[in-house]
Amino acid sequence: MCGIVGYVGVNPAKQELIDSLKKLEYRGYDSVGITILNSSLDTYKSPGKIADLETILPVDIDGYTGIGHTRWATHGQPTKQNAHPHLSGNISIVHNGIIENYQQLKEELIEAGYEFRSETDTEVIAHLLNSYYQQNDDFHTAFQNTLKRLDGSYAVAAVCDDMPDIIITGKKNSPLVVGLGNGCNFAASDITAFLKHTKDVVFLEDLEIAQVQQNEVQFFDLEGNPIQKKKQRVEWDLEDAEKAGYEHFMLKEIHEQTKSVYNTFAGKLSELDGSINLEELNLTKKQIRNLTRIELIACGTSYNAGLIAKYLFEQLAGIHTNIDTGSEYRYRYPVFCDSDDVLSIAISQSGETADTIAALQSLKSSGCRTLAITNVMGSSITRDADDVMYIKAGPELGVAATKTFTSQLTILYLLAVHFARIRRNIDIEESRNFIKALKKLPGNIQRILNAKDTVRKYAKQFSEVSDYFFIGRYMNYPVALEGALKLKEISYIHAEGYAAGELKHGPLALITEDTPVVAIATSGHTYDKIISNIMEVKARNATVIAVAEEDDNEIEKYVDLVLRIPKTDELLSPILSNIVLQLLAYYTALAKGCSIDKPRNLAKSVTVE
C-alpha cells in the first residue's frame, strides 16, 4: 500500500519522481503528490492518478532533490488536503504506515499553536518535526527525536529547504530501501521505483535512518550513531517490470509462469536419487523428523496456496498442519504442547504483509522455528524469520497475484517432498515420479496458454452475469477459492468458492439458471464425488463449466462446457487448473472493460492492519 520515493541527483527531480511513482502504481493508491526543493518547497498534490497530477505541474520546475508519494487512504478521504506530501514551515514529509498515537500528538501540537489542514495521522509527523527543528535542533537530530515519539508503523522521508541536497528517511514496520546510483541516489518503498537507474540497494532495518545525498548515503541508528550497512545487488531487470507488448501486466505475468515456475525449482531437483536440494533451509534432518506440527500463516492468495500446502504436508510428510489468516491468528490463543517441534511457515509475496509478519513474530516469541516464503529479497519478513526461501518469480506488478501464487505452490511442493523423504514417508521411486511430473509443469502451462482463446470465448459469454460459483474437492477446494478470488478481484463479479460437498449445506439455495458454476473436476480419488455434486447443480438448471483433463472422455456427459488441462500427477493438477482460472478471470474483466492491473479499492501489498 502507498508508495514513497525520494530522489537526489543530477537530473531534474520532477521527471525522476513522476517516473518512479509510475513504477509504484501497482501498489494501489487514490491520491498523489510531490515536493521539489528549489529556492523553496514546491509542492503539488492531487486526488486521483498520477496523470491527474501531471496536468497541474508546471512545464519547468527547477530543483534536483525531491520526494513523492502515492497514497492509499487510511485516515481521511482521498482529497487534495489529505494527499502527501504534508508541509510544516519549511519542512515537507511523506509517510507510509499508521501512527497509533497521532491523536495524543495532535492535541499536544494544537496546544503549541500548530494548525492542522488535513484529516490524516501523517500531518502530526510534519508538525512534530518542525517543532523540534524550531527548538534549535539540527534537522537530523529533530528527525531522530520525531521518530522516537511515534507509535505504530512508519516509513518517512523528509526534506527541508535549509538543506536543498539532502533527504532524511527512517522506518519501523514499513518497507524502505535505498538505491545507490551513479550521480544519483534514491529512497523508496520498493526497488521497482529506481530499477531503471540501479540494482545496488541497501535495505533499512527498523529504527534506522538514512541521510541521502547525490554522491553519498550515511546510515544511523535512532540515537544518531553511525552504522555500517551492506550493499546488495538485486537480480531483477528493468525489462521484467515492463509490459513487453502485453496489454496488461496481469496477462504478461500469467504467461511468465512457464519461466517463473522453472526458476523456482531450477537446481533443486535430482531425478537420479529422487532428492530435493534445499541448501537455503537450515533445518537439520533430526529437526525435520521431530516435527509434530506445522503452522501456516498467510493472507489472500498466499492463504489459498497455504491451504493446498496443508494437504501436501499431511499427505506426503505425515505432519499435522494448521493454517490461519495472519489477521486472525494474533487475536486467538493457540496452544503449543512443545514449540520446539513446531515449524511456522509464513507466506507473503511482498514480504511486507503486516498481519502475516505480526503473526510470525508471535509464533517466534512462542519458541517456534520460523520459515518465510517470499518473493522480495531484504523484505521485512526475511529479517524476522529463522529461515527464508525465495520463490524467484521476478517482479509482479499486477495487483491480482498470478505467477507468485504458482511459484509459492512450487516451493511448498518442494518442501513437502523434501520433508517426506527425510521422514521416510515416501520412497525413492515415488519421489522420482513426482520430480518427473514437476519438470513437465512449464511445458504443460504453455499448452494451456496456447489454448487460451477457448477460455476467452467462455469468459465473454458469461461476462454479464451477477454471480459465479466455483466448486472443488480435496486439493481442488483451495483452487475453487482462488478462482473465485481472482474473478471478484478484477471483474467485480460476485464469486464464491466452496468445498463441493458443502453445497447442500446452504449454498444450493443460491444456484439458479443464471448462475454459472465452475467445477474443478480433475482425475483422482474424489472424481466420482465431484460428478455427484455437478449433478446436484445441474438439477437446479445451472450452467456448469468443468475444468478437466484432456483424456477425460466422460466429463462432457455431465457439464455444458469444458476447459481442458494436460494430464499430470493428481497432486500437481491444482497448478494447471489455476492457470485456466486466471485466464477466465482476466478475459472476463477484459470483456467488462475493468481496470485489470489496478482494481478499485485494492493494493498490491497490504503493509498496515
Report, as residue numbers or ranges, the catalytic residues: 2, 604
Burial track 450-479 (b if 16+ CB lie within 10 A, e otherwise): ebbeebbebbeebbeeeebbbbbbbbbbbb
Tell me how far apart the alpha carbons of residues 273 and 291 are, in angstroms, rounded to a whole number: 24
* Phi-psi map region of 524: left, alpha, beta (phi>0 left; psi -120 to 50 alpha): left
* 163: exposed, middle or buried (Cβ count in 10 Å: 0-12, 13-18, 19+): middle
Contact 525, 499 (CB under 8 A): no
Tell me how far apart the alpha carbons of residues 496 and 586 are, in angstroms, rounded to a whole number: 17
- The residue assigned the cell 555500517 is 228
Tell me how far apart the alpha carbons of residues 7 and 493 are, in angstroms, rounded to a whole number: 41
Tell me how far apart the alpha carbons of residues 224 and 144 are, in angstroms, rounded to a whole number: 7
- Measured torsion, CA atoms of residues 487, 490, 493, 496, in degrees rounded to the nearest 10: 40
Instruction: Name, in order, each residue with C-beta under 8 angstroms of 429's C-beta and a sequence gap of 6 or more.
Output: 274
Strand partners, 41: 37
Residue 407: Cβ within 10 Å count: 30
Residue 608: Cβ within 10 Å count: 18
- The residue assigned the cell 510470525 is 360
Contact 125, 99 (CB under 8 A): yes
Q: For residue 477, what is its C-alpha cell?
A: 477446494
Cα 280-307-373 angle, rounded to 5 deg: 20
- DSSP letter (8 states) at residue 478: H
Q: What is the CA radius of gyration of the chain?
A: 25
Instruction: Name, in order, each residue with C-beta under 8 angstroms of 303's C-beta and a sequence gap of 6 or more.
Output: 323, 325, 347
For residue 85, cis peptide bond before it (omega within 30 degrees of 0)? yes
Q: For residue 460, what is its C-alpha cell?
A: 465473454
- Measured torsion, CA atoms of residues 585, 591, 595, 601, in degrees rounded to the nearest 10: -60
**Residue 119: half-sphere exposure toward Cβ, Cα within 13 Å:** 8
Burial track 338-347 (b if 16+ CB lie within 10 A, e otherwise): ebebbbbbbb
Q: H helices then E strands: how many in the chain?
A: 19, 26
